[in-house]
Structure 1
């Protein structure tokens, strides 16, 4: 009985092995692709990767960096918003710079007031005081001179009537009074002439220097507000309220580098496509007036003809086309820029990777 059971189990194992071998050896039918790979529309076409950008007459997307460092206080725009030239995009904390502007304004106002005071001299009341001092000195001189002349005549009539010492004192008093009158007259002329021209010039220079420092501080204060340089659309805001930003940009948590604070696109009716042609294929490129290209959107069967825009005549190291990384390889490429009108029934965004074929010679 035991031998029959072992024999039956062996038979079942052999049958199971054959069944398993048959099942696993059967090839399953492959699933159809979600979309067809981009076909080469030309007999001799050069394949290249492309990246969609906002259309620019020169450069790439508009990357906005601050000219000063500070903490973000307000972001009045959102990604995707349309803005006009001059609209505020980001406001930084400017309390320290604003206080400095107010201080320098007060200093400039004080310098201007002193300059106006110098130009307004002589003051009427000061001139009247100086004139009164001249009159007083003249009266004192007249009195001293009269006393001296009286004593001199008395001495001439009778030398014993006046001592030589009294006569000398009277003469000295008259001379001192005359000198005081001369000083008072000079002081009056000085007061009447007003402020010295060199004092006015010096104060004028100080006022101009403080005014220029104030203008510089006001201009720097304006830098704490980032404004739209052109009409366009906000593509990305790479910071948040309370974050610290600098002229280097904002630190990206995911890219591990510094990114532009705000990225903008123009409101042009076109989109740009930047393609990178391998350096070994440059010789196969046709002349610009004969260059044809077609772009294929990844994940779809949609293709769009491209219009030639320009060549960036500078071969550069190939870089990663995504995530703004700076990975460099040994291959060098030639950037070529095309343009196209966005499709009405399909959303196209800057930064999107596309497949491009360029017709070869």
Structure 2
């Protein structure tokens, strides 16, 4: 009997050891945010905000002038392109089918114009006015003008098709780097979403959301620094670019329990050199702006004035 109990105990112990080993191996080490380096503001009085890194001058969302199937995309992620470089070729098989017919009609109109001119020139060379009436001479002249208009119309039809074929080639509006390709060959492209995201491959800029309650304290000459999340050792010096004066609803959320979402924000744009910190576009940064000396409130001014008056 003791032997059976011993075997049962050994079996249970082995099972427990196996389960413990599996659970221990499957555990993923999750970094504790609290263990990271705490980022402290370098200013005594500061305005804090969350910023999103962008290409200098703003990210460019490339759209399509016409809705069509994507035939090919000659660029790749991270490619550097110049202005006018083809980015997307849209399907133009329908235009390719119409072009030969339009060219044939133009050649037909050119042939008729050549015949009309020849007939008109022959009529003009007849010296004996009794051989041909003046009305016939005028009719041949009018036929030349009519056929010239037909040739121009046929040429316009050909030019229209060729221009439409050029519109099926989406080109880069400026020099920059391909940041994102959102569609692929064979997919349907329309104006509901951009095809490609691109931007300046040199400098970067950060779009900082400032709470509407702090917006009045933002100054263009104030010093500002940005930090990557949980990285207090590598501050990035920011250079003021502009303030977008329209306050918009807050859309960038950081996920803290005390965060307000029913507020509007002022967006301030700063630029920085990529050599200072190799940050990716779209990366979130913690931004601190020097607010200068703390402004005196009405209550502090009253207390100061009361203290200055001595009986």
Pairwise same-fold verdict (TM > 0.5): yes
2:155 to 211, 217, 222: 211
Tell me, yes or no, if the aligned pair for 1:127 and 1:188 is still in contact at 8 Å: no
1:278 to 202, 205, 211: 211
Moved over 4 A (4+): 31-34, 188-191
Q: How does 1:53-132 map to 2 (within 5 A)?
A: 53-56=54-57, 60-122=58-120
Tell me, yes or no, if the aligned pair for 2:54 and 2:205 is still in contact at 8 Å: yes
For residue 164 of structure 2, what is the aligned residue in structure 1? 220
2:247 to 290, 295, 315: 315
SS at match of 2:109: helix
Tell me, yes or no, if the aligned pair for 2:120 and 2:144 is still in contact at 8 Å: no
For residue 284 of structure 2, what is the aligned residue in structure 1? 353
- Normalising by structure 1, we get a TM-score of 0.63
SS at match of 2:148: helix
SS at match of 2:214: helix
* Matched positions, count: 255
| Partners of 1:111 and 1:348 in 2: CA distance | 62
SS at match of 1:270: strand
| Partners of 2:172 and 2:45 in 1: CA distance | 44
Shift in CA distance, 32/123, structure 1 to aligned 2, threshold 3 Å = closer
Structure number with larger C-alpha Rg? 1
Following TM superposition, by how much is the alpha carbon of 1:32 offset from its aligned partner in structure 2, in angstroms?
Answer: 8.8
Shift in CA distance, 273/72, structure 1 to aligned 2, threshold 3 Å = same
- RMSD across aligned positions (CA): 2.9
Gaps of at least 5 residues in structure 1 are 1-30, 135-183, 250-259, 323-328
Tell me, yes or no, if the aligned pair for 1:63 and 1:263 is still in contact at 8 Å: yes
Shift in CA distance, 32/265, structure 1 to aligned 2, threshold 3 Å = closer
| Partners of 1:307 and 1:122 in 2: CA distance | 74
| Partners of 2:110 and 2:39 in 1: CA distance | 74
SS at match of 1:121: helix
| Partners of 2:252 and 2:42 in 1: CA distance | 26
| Partners of 2:186 and 2:84 in 1: CA distance | 23
- Normalising by structure 2, we get a TM-score of 0.73
Gaps of at least 5 residues in structure 2 are 1-31, 255-260, 293-311
Following TM superposition, by how much is the alpha carbon of 1:231 offset from its aligned partner in structure 2, in angstroms?
Answer: 1.6
